[in-house]
Amino acid sequence: MSEYTDSAKEQMEKCIGALKHNFGKVRTGRANPHALDDIRVDYYGVPTPILQLAGVKVPEASMLVIEPWDKSSLRAIERAIMDSDLGITPSNDGVCIRLPFPKPTEERRRELVKECGRYAEQAKVAVRNARRDANEEVEFLEKEGELTEDDLAREKKAIQKLTDEYTAKVEELLKTKTAEVMEI
C-alpha cells in the first residue's frame, strides 16, 4: 500500500472506532460500563469520569455496580448519574451504587435501531470523506507531475477498494448491533 492509501486507511479506522464508541453508548437492556463513559462527576471541583473514581462491575446481565474508592464521592457520583441523560435511577446503599438496566420495550428497541442506523450512516459519510480527501491528494500529485496517469488510476482503485472494505465493516457492525438491540 502507498502512503496515500495508508493515510486514508488510518482515517477510516478512526471512523470505525468512533462508530464502536457510539454503539457502546446505546442502551440495549444489558448492563454496559461504557454507558457511563460520558458522565462526569464533580470531584473536588474537577469534572472526573466515573471510571477514574470507582470500580464498575457487571454482576448480572442487567445490573451495574459502582464501588467508589473514596466513599465520600458516593453522593457526587449518584448526583451525576441522576443529572445525566442515562435515564436510570441509581440506588445507593452507602457502600456502592446499583444501576438496574430495564429491558426496553419493542417500540424503544425500534428507536434504538434507528439511532444505530444514524450512527452507521455518519460513519459511512466519514469513510467517504476520507476517500474524497485521499483522491484529491493523489489528483493533486498527478497534476504536479509526481504521479503518472497509470499511478493515479492504480491509487484511486486502491482507495475505492479500501472504501468498500470499510463500508462493509460499518454494515457488519450495524447488523451485529441491530441483532443485539432487537434480542429480547
What CATH number is given for 3-25+105-182 in this structure? 1.10.132.20
Give, in order, the Cα–Cα distances in Å from 26 to each of 15, 32, 137, 180. Answer: 17, 9, 36, 11
- CATH (residue range 33-100): 3.30.1360.40
> Is the separation of the CB atoms in 45 and 55 below 8 Å?
no
Mean pLDDT score of the chain: 88
Percent of the chain whose predicted confidence (pLDDT) is above 90: 36
Contact residues for 115 (Cβ-Cβ < 8 A; gap 6+): 26
Q: C-alpha cell of 132?
A: 474524497
The grid coordinates of residue 125 equal: 459519510
Q: How far apart are CA 151 and CA 157, in angstroms?
A: 10
C-alpha triplet 74, 80, 83: angle, nearest 5°: 140
pLDDT of residue 164: 95
Delimit the domains of the chain by residue range. 3-25+105-182, 33-100
What is the reported pLDDT for 160?
94
Q: Which three cell numbers stand for residue 57?
A: 462491575
Could you read off the pLDDT of 146-171 as tens digits, one per residue?
888 888 899 999 999 999 999 999 99
Read off the pTM: 0.73
For the cut 90, the answer to whether the pLDDT of residue 127 exceeds it is yes
pLDDT digits 0-9 by tens, 40-96 = 988 888 898 888 888 888 888 788 899 999 888 888 888 888 888 777 888 888 889
11-44 confidence digits (pLDDT tens): 999 999 999 988 887 777 677 787 788 889 888 8
pLDDT for the residue 1: 57
